[in-house]
Amino acid sequence: MAEFWEMDASEIAQGVTSRSYSARQVVESHLARLSEINPGINAVVQECPEEALAAADVLDDRLARGEDVGPLAGVPVTIKVNVDQKGYATTNGLKLQKDLIAKQDSPVVANLRRAGAVIVGRTNTPAFSMRWFTNNELHGMTLNPRNADLTPGGSSGGAAAAVAAGICAIGHGTDIAGSIRYPAYACGLQGIRPTVGRVPARNATAPDRYIGAQMMAVSGPIARSIADLRLGLAAMSVGDPEDPLWIPAPLTGEALPKKVAFCPAPDGMEVDDAVLAALTQAAEALRAAGWQVEGIDCPPIREAAEINAQLWMAESRAAAATIAAEDDPDATVVFQRMTADSTEMDLGGLMTCLQRRIGVQREWLHFLAEWPVVLCPSSGMLPFAQQSDVGARSGFDRIMEAQLIQRALPTLGLPGLSVATGMAGAAPVGVQLIGGKFREDILFDAGEVIEAACGQPRVTTPV
């Protein structure tokens, strides 16, 4: 039998539920893996060993009494440090928030606990969760366990690194501009950005979110299999009155035609040859499985990315004094560069921006009614070298262009699935699937075809 830390969440839950092994055994194994591996990659920055073992013992006692403990029985998970977990600091990578202790769980954390998951630690994020790299002055830098020279992604870089290294089976992430999908891509994993409104959200440690985050920010799972994403998303998606924007949408919709729009370079974005090869491999796998795959231009993506930047940077400008007070050198550089590329908005500009958003969304929904799945890049480039966004300005500009689809999708409010296809030399590579609102299910169906053809990601041990 494989080590427990090598197992997928679905296998762990089945074994714990059947009492083939105990939740304590599983959690002890993952805590040992954390102690062994984490010092070298710095994925988990707040550890929860005593709490995790106590939770495992409660699960085992309940199972011994014949109780149903949930679909994630005994599954070790991590929580990103920008989300409230009772008794821990919601740092968001900030020195200013190192003592901001949550008095209650965020709904997504409460949902995971109710599903039987066991939280083993909290994962790193860049300061303000504002980069595709994971480094800050409070917690330090997270390394990619598959290649330390490359970013683990951001802002959920700690979550993806923890999953790839076997510290947890499912990592919680958040995404407003690719922060689930890109870390999954960079660490060779699977990650789902759900439809806005699918997973309830609220941090009681902070004021309610501004309009941009309300419309674009989501929580979702990162895992080593599509099956585990299904489990994780179902657990996270239970409604909570703390989030008035939560929508009670079913996890499975009506049957849709197996049609895929193959869009290897939307809006003329530059795409690396290795990324094109991964897209071609995924398209061939879908065709071989009976899906209709056709090369076709998707609706505008660049305009959606511009709208995302306007809304996101408007909120960042509102926090400019806090960004200055934190004085994180990386965050300062990225904030300056992003705001320089995004026009400051007055009320009229905001109203126009929201008006434009509706038009782009409408065009995409019409397109997805005909083509239920879009196959496109996760990033136009292979995973970036560490810290390359704070080097030369030309490098930053190339990164922004490569992340065009990461930035655009939140504006549309649509789900996006990052699917690993293997390695391109020393770098992970993969593809992205986009679907209609609340149709994560068809993305999972297509993703499982690609996963079966390209191989399921496995745990890696950093060298």
DSSP string, 179-195: TTHHHHHHTT-EEEEPP
pTM above 0.95, yes or no: yes
Q: What is the pLDDT along the chain (463 residues), one digit of tens a residue?
A: 799 999 999 999 999 999 999 999 999 999 999 999 999 999 999 999 999 999 999 999 999 999 999 999 999 999 999 999 999 999 999 999 999 999 999 999 999 999 999 999 999 999 999 999 999 999 999 999 999 999 999 999 999 999 999 999 999 999 999 999 999 999 999 999 999 999 999 999 999 999 999 999 999 999 999 999 999 999 999 999 999 999 999 999 999 999 999 999 999 999 999 999 999 999 999 999 999 999 999 999 999 999 999 888 887 788 889 999 999 999 999 999 988 877 788 899 999 999 999 999 999 999 999 999 999 999 999 999 999 999 999 999 999 999 999 999 999 999 999 999 999 999 999 999 999 999 999 999 999 999 999 999 999 999 8
d(CA 21, CA 217): 38
Closest by alpha carbon to 125, among 145, 149, 152, 100? Answer: 152
d(CA 234, CA 72): 10
For the question of residue 155 being annotated catalytic, the response is yes
Burial 100-130 (b: 16+ CB within 10 A, else e): bebebbbbbbbbbbebbbbbbbbbbbbbbbb
Torsion from C-alpha of 278, 279, 283, 289, nearest 10 degrees? 40
Assess if residue 462 is contained within a domain. no
d(CA 293, CA 260): 5
For the question of residue 179 being annotated catalytic, the response is yes
Residue-level pLDDT at 34: 98
- Is-contact 404 305, C-beta < 8 A? yes
Residue-level pLDDT at 318: 81
Closest by alpha carbon to 11, among 224, 310, 299? Answer: 224
* Bridge-based pairing state of the strands 373-376 and 259-262: parallel
Q: Looking at this protein, which amino acid is placed at residue 200?
A: P
Assess if residue 364 is contained within a domain. yes
One of 155, 156, 237, 378 is an active-site residue; which one? 155
For the question of residue 29 being annotated catalytic, the response is no
Residue-level pLDDT at 313: 80
One of 22, 80, 129, 437 is an active-site residue; which one? 80
Assess if residue 349 is contained within a domain. yes
DSSP string, 395-446: HHHHHHHHTHHHHHHHHHT--EEEEEEEEETTEEEEEEEEESTT-HHHHHHH
Residues near 347 by beta carbon (within 8 Å), at least 6 away in sequence = none
Strand partners, 423: 428
- Is-contact 361 385, C-beta < 8 A? no
d(CA 344, CA 347): 10
List C-alpha distances in Å: 296 to 367, 374, 398.
Answer: 11, 9, 25
Residue-level pLDDT at 322: 94
One of 179, 219, 316, 379 is an active-site residue; which one? 179
Assess if residue 429 is contained within a domain. yes
Residue-level pLDDT at 319: 84
Assess if residue 405 is contained within a domain. yes
Residue-level pLDDT at 116: 98
CA 63 to chain CA mean position, Å: 31
Find the domain containing 119 and state its range: 6-454
Closest by alpha carbon to 258, among 441, 452, 451, 456? Answer: 441
Assess if residue 191 is contained within a domain. yes
CATH number of the domain where residue 212 is located: 3.90.1300.10
Tell me how crowded residue 281 is: count the other CB atoms within 10 A of its CB.
17
Total count of domains within the chain: 1
Cα angle vertex 250, ends 248, 251, to 5°? 125
For residue 237, say if its preceding peptide bond is cis, omega within 30 degrees of 0. no
Closest by alpha carbon to 8, among 179, 157, 186, 189? Answer: 189
d(CA 158, CA 91): 13
List C-alpha distances in Å: 145 to 159, 383, 388.
Answer: 12, 13, 18
Residue-level pLDDT at 133: 98
- Is-contact 130 82, C-beta < 8 A? no
